[in-house]
Amino acid sequence: MNSVSTTPLPPATLKDAAVEVKGVNVVFHRRGSEPYQAVTNLSFTIPQGTVFCLLGPNGSGKTTTINVLNGLLRPTGGDVRVSGLDPTRDRRELLRRIALVPQETALYNELTGAENLEFHAKYYGVAPREVRDRIAHVLELVGLTDRATHRTGTYSGGMQRRLALARALLTDPEVLFLDEPTLGVDVQSRQAIWERIEQLADEGKTVLLTTNYMEEADALGREVHIIDHGATVAHGTQAELKAMVQGSRVVLEFAAPERADRARAVLDAVSPTTVPSEGSLSIAVPRGVETVAFLRQVLDEINAVGGVTGFRFSEPSLQDVFLHFTGRALRD
């Protein structure tokens, strides 16, 4: 069980920040059990026109944070500003400026894609004379024009996620919140969604997305905020984060798994090894050591073992960053 803490912080200040989160805490009170702290002293700032990635494993507090930023949940403590507004106090005004693609897509499966969008456009007050053009535009953006007259119940998971993104774009929001936008979608839809997200940032929109896919954070987030158990683990640009962890690794491939096992026994004395897949071995290049000299030393050491069929260098990934700070992998 997490301990409960609330830290008072000074009011938000940065002018060009689209989103400011300062010392936010969220405590859930569940009947019959101890209070549960889902978010602990979370702080970050998102400049306008950037893609910001909140990366964390299941249950780490991503959706809770999104709910706070959308004014759906009042934080137990701390200060939040979105487009300069307090989300719980100024929610009506906020809804004119932001949009959310929730983790659960929540479409009306009996309606067509276009009808789903029309319903949403009316609900959110898109001017009646603009509705048709907006719908055509957002359908085009997500590549669903030719499926617009089909019921969404017949869409694939990826298409449903794309329609949910189109729906969020109807109101031309300044800030877009995407809660795991590509969870369970096919590669093609994922690529389409990533391209749209990048395009939105190029147009000056601010995008906060949550994910537990390393590749997604790597592909999109200019800044990545890693959380675990509701608290910050690390924050920075991808390059900064990777520079925080052990440097590159040498990956060796062996003709047979037994050879890799024997090599591991020898090499663990040189530098810690891991087994990325059967028959291969990954060895950390120690800090301050020249990579080629290290590789030569490694090959000398395992000369007697033999059977090396290939090698490559690998740079640290965000996965390594998470492992470094938490001692475990981001995903099982």
Q: Which residues of the chain form contacts with ligand ATP (CB under 6 A)?
A: 28, 30, 36, 38, 56, 58-64, 103, 212
Identify residue 34 by its one-letter amino acid code: E
Residues in contact with Mg ion by the rule CB under 5 A = 62-63, 103
Which CB atom, from 22 or from 62, has the smaller least distance to Mg ion? 62
Which CB atom, from 230 or from 279, has the smaller least distance to Mg ion? 230
Which CB atom, from 89 or from 331, has the smaller least distance to ligand ATP? 331
Paired tokens of 25: 């805490």
Which CB atom, from 56 or from 181, has the smaller least distance to ligand ATP? 56
28 binds, options ligand ATP, Mg ion, none, Cβ within 5 to 8 A by partner type:
ligand ATP
326 binds, options Mg ion, ligand ATP, none, Cβ within 5 to 8 A by partner type:
none
232 binds, options Mg ion, ligand ATP, none, Cβ within 5 to 8 A by partner type:
none
CB of 64 to Mg ion, least distance (A): 8
Paired tokens of 135: 């719908």
Paired tokens of 315: 């740079």
Paired tokens of 227: 């959380």
The C-alpha atoms of residue 138 and residue 122 are separated, in whole angstroms, by 15
Please state, in angstroms and as integers, the Cα–Cα distance from residue 59 to each residue in 55, 87, 222, 324, following that order: 11, 23, 23, 20
> Measured at CB, which residue is nearest to Mg ion?
63
Backbone angles phi, psi at 268, to 5 degrees: -60, -25
- The DSSP element (H or E) to which 45 belongs, if any, is strand 36-47
Token pair 């830290």: residue: 7
Identify residue 291 by its one-letter amino acid code: T
SS3 73: coil
242 binds, options ligand ATP, Mg ion, none, Cβ within 5 to 8 A by partner type:
none
CB of 107 to ligand ATP, least distance (A): 19
Which CB atom, from 63 or from 206, has the smaller least distance to Mg ion? 63
209 binds, options ligand ATP, Mg ion, none, Cβ within 5 to 8 A by partner type:
none
